[in-house]
Amino acid sequence: MPMLWETIRHKVYRESGYKCEICGSSEKIHAHEVFKFHRDSLTQELIGFKCLCYWCHITTHFGFAQRIGLGREAHKHLRKINKWSGAQAHNYVHQKFKAYRAIAHLEWKVDLSYVDKYIDRGDMIDPISILSTNRGER
């Protein structure tokens, strides 16, 4: 799985031109998994990947940002990216947490079949090429 993830994230970076798909930054890029939640079948389906910079990624995982002490910075980034007031950002976060709480207690199946559509196994990155191209991205 680690080599598969390396292959995926480098493909995501290439496809985005090594830029964050939200703010356009090319600093500290990450690959972010995008899931769709099918409530009828209780399936969490992987539907794609996005290249995000560190701050857009951590802001996307707002609860995690808060747990590691970066809630204020994530809130600030959310306001900056969306040109929102503090109240607008606060309301957005409140609505997202409310939506999360409504489904978090359910037992979800995970459908990762998208990976097989996204990655040609023949394109798997060899570990040596990663060592020479990995410059601090995650």
- Binder among 6, 8, 10, 20 for Zn ion (CB under 5 A): 20
Residue 77 to residue 81: CA distance in whole angstroms: 6
Reading the block at residue 83, the tokens are: 């040109």
**Residue span binding Zn ion (CB under 5 A) among the ranges 24-32, 39-47, 89-97, 125-133:** 24-32
Question: How many helices and strands (H and E) does the chain possess?
Answer: 7, 3
Stretch that binds Zn ion, among 54-62, 68-76, 87-95, 96-104 (CB under 5 A): 54-62
Pick from 19, 25, 92, 114: which binds Zn ion (CB under 5 A)? 25
Q: How far apart are CA 11 and CA 8, in angstroms?
A: 5
Determine the residue type at 113: S
Upper half-sphere CA count for residue 35 (Cβ side, 13 Å): 15
Q: Contact between 74 and Zn ion (CB under 5 A)?
A: no
H or E, element range at 32: strand 29-38
Among positions 34-53, residues that touch Zn ion (CB under 5 A) are 53
Q: Which of these segments, 15-23, 32-40, 94-102, 115-123, binds Zn ion (CB under 5 A)?
A: 15-23
The footprint of Zn ion (CB under 5 A) covers 20, 22-23, 25, 53, 56
